[in-house]
Amino acid sequence: MHSPATMSRAFPDISIVALDRAMTGDLQHKIDQKTKPRGALGRLETLALQLGLIQQSLSPRIINPHVLVCAGDHGAAKAGVSAFPQEVTWQMVENFLAGGAAINVLAKQAGMKLVVADAGVAHDFGVRDGLRSLKVGAGGTANYLEGAAMSDAQCATAMANGATLAREFAAAGCNVLAFGEMGIGNSAAASLITHCITGLPLADCVGRGTGLDDAGLERKRALLAQALSIWPERPQISHLPLAEGEDGRGSNKFRPAGEDVYRILARFGGFEIAMLAGAMLAAAEARMTLLIDGFIVTSALLAAALVSPAVLDYCVYAHCSHEAGHHLQLEWLKGEPLLDLGLRLGEGTGAALALPLLNAACAFMNEMASFESAGVSEEA
């Protein structure tokens, strides 16, 4: 059982300010005065409004965008929850460092700085250019089929490491932070985390991950059910639905959960998932826009939102993954994805593909003529 004192020694206090929506009217007026019918730019208009509120500016801009890819190994991976062997995690990190992965290509195309963080990969990379070594456990997490994946202190340290990175990026002027991950077996951990936080049926949260066949999928579901069965003291987290008339974007309210979120993260692990949750909280505290990727990244967001619901105000949901359970996570969070391309790669690839839409939203706000400046008559 975690105690608040135990967690606070390693994980810094986070204070996220809910969005000040006083500028909504002025932002909407500027959007509506562009030379177009009202609402004609669809989601770009709501995106421009959100970016303006986050930045508290009538002229929002994307500055020095980063994508943080956190990598970690999972003890349960060797039990058969993935179609790929565990060593693929470190091999893919090498691929990131060599510039050969999908996220390298897409981040470069989008003009994003890629940062790869080793949260706990079972491999010694040594000192490498382009790699932030922040290992919490050198061999990855423990096997949650036998007990807790990580200790209280390890969970807090992983979250604190993520927060430190996000604050470094903010100090470098970054105002948009995208999130990605790498870790064989982490879709299984994300399924368990999602189930425990939302109460959605476990079977609905479990997908094929890296490409399990039907037999492999059934085995994965059975193993995850087994993992739950040996944790009878797991916390029951209640969710408060939206109040009548509340705006769904970022306004979900979670019942105060005390230390429950840390207990769930520590039990089912993912040093990289805990690191992502900490980075999200610190990024929102720094008033960055958070560009949320797929299923595993969204499981980290679920955890972050239990710590501070205000984090959701700063989130843009890049896409809806093809992985089973992601659309359920998005429905739960009242999050509307920008793209639906059938992606299921992870790495932050969906987030990198969505960044040009944020640039487009800023561009029309800052460069498109108004009816008055262009001498165009407004609609009657």
What does the alpha-carbon distance between residue 194 and residue 273 come to, in Å, rounded to a whole number? 12
- The two three-digit tokens of residue 189, written as one number: 């951990």
Would you give the end-to-end CA distance of the chain in angstroms?
64
- Residues whose CB is less than 8 angstroms from the CB of residue 360 and which lie 6 or more positions away in sequence, other chains included: 44
Can you list the alpha helix ranges (DSSP code H) found in 172-199?
A: 186-198
Of 318, 258, 287, residue with least CA distance to 3: 258
CA-CA distances (angstroms) from residue 19 to 16, 200, 284? 9, 29, 10
Handedness of CA 313, 314, 319, 320 (dihedral sign): negative
CA-CA distances (angstroms) from residue 3 to 39, 231, 235, 258, 262? 49, 18, 14, 9, 10
Of 337, 266, 261, residue with least CA distance to 46: 337
- The two three-digit tokens of residue 297, written as one number: 């990244």
Q: Which of 45, 272, 285, 347 is catalytic?
A: 347
What does the alpha-carbon distance between residue 348 and residue 346 come to, in Å, rounded to a whole number? 5
**Residue located via tokens 């608040």:** 4
Tell me, yes or no, if 347 is annotated catalytic.
Answer: yes
The catalytic residue positions are: 347
